[in-house]
Amino acid sequence: MVTLNYSIEGLLPMKGLPPDWPGGYWWHWLFFTVVLIAFVLVMVLGAIYIERRGMGRMQSRLGPNRTGPFGLLQAVADAVKVLLKENIVPAKADKIVHWLAPIIAFAPVMMIFAVVPFQDGALLADLNIGILYIVAVSSIATVGVFMAGWGSSNKYSLLGAMRNVAAVVSYEIPLVLSVIGVVLVAGSLSLNDIVLAQDIPFILFQPLGFLLFFAAGCAEINRAPFDLMEADSELVAGFHTEYSGMKFAMFYLVEYAEAIAISAIIATLFLGGWRGPLLPPWLWLIVKIVIVFFVMVWTRATLPRVRIDQLMALAWKFLFPLALINLFITAVQVLVWPDGLPWALIFLNIAVMLVLVILWSKLFRLGWGRLEV
């Protein structure tokens, strides 16, 4: 994947950092691999803390506050607890599949971060098909989930995994369609170039695309309110019912790493990535990731969980047509006014978003055939 980096180097002379920063092919590879793994693990710990404390306060609780100062070490304590637990494998489980599933679920999430720029040119591999690569790689996590459901030899695990696959496949479509809007405006698939193109954050050019991407992204990673396949207050766990110990920890890690990955993609595509005044670029990226993740926690604490039919209806009746319309409008804008006034386009796009959302809410009703209260 790194070799691609060099083939496009000649086409993009304007780079902040040389593509093999901090010097040398292998040194670059080693440096970014270590940094990314450390980054993901630390961010996951931070995300668990933000989620538990933030959601606690939103529910008028305090959240974990006993372990370490302000409960900061709660995630560490949980990790240690889970690692010390016995690793139980069901007697009739498909041992190899059961064992491989958490790894196959985790690897693609790590791979997403390979193309997220922390600074101009500071990324593991500046693929010219970056966002396509993300879409392709992130779907592999679903295979891991299905392997977990299948390998557990438990019908409820299998049902949870199948629902998960159905949801993820459905939500992939609006997700990708809303990404194409951004790609059209930026004129490139490379995340580094998309960030460089954002003199004004694309959330203003693509407000509808942002909403669609956010909703579809939340559903893609099974976060509330779309977490019905692993609804912890209703079911045991969905696909990872039969997992314990280290392997369960891997799935837990995947869940939050995916949330961080989606936050990073949203921050990069819509919020201007590492760009920002005063602070160093990598800190801006982290700040934006945390903000997006906080909004995810916020929606989780606010919205009730949807049913499976509502989940599918939202994907196919609401997000999918709106994503198509958004793509069409963006394409027309890019074709007709390639150098149009940015602020005029921004107001037009926000107005279009409001009209479309209200219009579609009228066409699209939850619970057909039910009496309105």
Partner 1 sequence: MKFERFGTGIIKGLMVTLVHLVRHPTVNQYPEQRLNMSRRIRGNELIWSRERCTGCGTCAKACPQGAIELVTSTVFKDNKYNVETYRVDTGYCIQCGLCVEACPFDAVFMGYSYERAKYRRNDLVQTNDELLESPARPVSGYFHPEIAKGLPDQTLLVEKIVEKRK
> Looking at 56-64, 150-158, 262-270, 278-286, which segment touches partner 1 (CB under 8 A)?
56-64
Instruction: Show contacts with partner 1 in window 110-169 (CB under 8 A).
Output: none
81 binds partner 1 (CB under 8 A): no
Tokens matching residue 104: 């196959």
87 binds partner 1 (CB under 8 A): no
What does the H/E/C string look like for the chain?
CCHHHHHCHHHCCCCCCCCCCCCCHHHHHHHHHHHHHHHHHHHHHHHHHHHHHHHHHHCCCCCCCCCCHHHCCHHHHHHHHHHHCCCCCCCCCCHHHHHHHHHHHHHHHHHHHHHCCCCCCCCCCCCCCHHHHHHHHHCHHHHHHHHHHHHCCCHHHHHHHHHHHHHHHHHHHHHHHHHHHHHHHHCCCCHHHHHHHCCCCHHHHCHHHHHHHHHHHHHHCCCCCCCHHHCCCCCCCHHHCCCCHHHHHHHHHHHHHHHHHHHHHHHHHHCCCCCCCCCCHHHHHHHHHHHHHHHHHHHHHHCCCCCHHHHHHHHHHHHHHHHHHHHHHHHHHHHHCCCCCHHHHHHHHHHHHHHHHHHHHHHCCCCCCCCCC
Q: How far is the CB of 158 from partner 1 (least distance, A)?
A: 33
Q: How far is the CB of 353 from partner 1 (least distance, A)?
A: 10
Instruction: Show contacts with partner 1 in window 245-264 (CB under 8 A).
Output: none
357 binds partner 1 (CB under 8 A): yes
Instruction: Show contacts with partner 1 in window 12-51 (CB under 8 A).
Output: none
Candidates 84, 358, 363, 371; binder of partner 1 (CB under 8 A) is: 358
> Looking at 20-28, 57-65, 94-102, 227-235, which segment touches partner 1 (CB under 8 A)?
57-65
Q: How far is the CB of 249 from partner 1 (least distance, A)?
A: 29
Binding mask 289-328 for partner 1 (x = CB under 8 A): ---------xx-xxx-------------------------
- CB-nearer residue toward partner 1: 332 or 354: 354
Q: How far is the CB of 258 from partner 1 (least distance, A)?
A: 23
> Looking at 11-19, 77-85, 101-109, 353-361, which segment touches partner 1 (CB under 8 A)?
353-361
- CB-nearer residue toward partner 1: 46 or 102: 46
> Looking at 54-62, 163-171, 197-205, 237-245, which segment touches partner 1 (CB under 8 A)?
54-62
60 binds partner 1 (CB under 8 A): yes
* Chain positions contacting partner 1, by CB under 8 A: 54, 56-62, 298-299, 301-303, 357-358, 361-362, 365
